[in-house]
Amino acid sequence: MARDPQGEPPERTPAIKHLHDDDLVLYHYGEIRTAPAEGHLRICRGCRDRLQTLTLDLERLSLAPPPPATAFGTAPRSPSRRPRLAVWRRLLLRLAYAGSDRRG
């Protein structure tokens, strides 16, 4: 074990508390911009890499804006629900694929 010049063991530095994925998502959307979070991202390459990966995932999953509202305050109903189901099916497949990459 390394010792300082007086023969004492070195003081332990506190362990770095990494940001959770939820915190990184909030940071991406600008919900949290605290000095500790920004300071941690400056020194921790692992959290910066995770933030970059989450940013890419969130940009890939961004959806088109909803249709404009009508005079009654609701969006017009589409005659066929089939295209809407296809969108959800694709979204769920993307989410499942993105989740399987992180588990392994």
For 31-80, the pLDDT digits (tens) are 888 888 899 999 999 999 999 999 888 888 776 666 676 666 555 555 55
- Identify whether 9 is part of a domain: no
Q: Are 18 and 44 in contact (CB under 8 A)?
A: yes
Angle at 32 between CA 27 and CA 35, to 5 degrees: 100
pLDDT of residue 82: 58
Domain carrying residue 31: 21-61+81-103
In this prediction, residue 91 has a pLDDT band, given cuts at 50, 70 and 90, of confident
pLDDT of residue 90: 78
- Identify whether 74 is part of a domain: no
- Identify whether 71 is part of a domain: no
Indicate the number of domains in the chain.
Answer: 1
Stated pTM of the model: 0.47
pLDDT of residue 65: 66
- Identify whether 1 is part of a domain: no
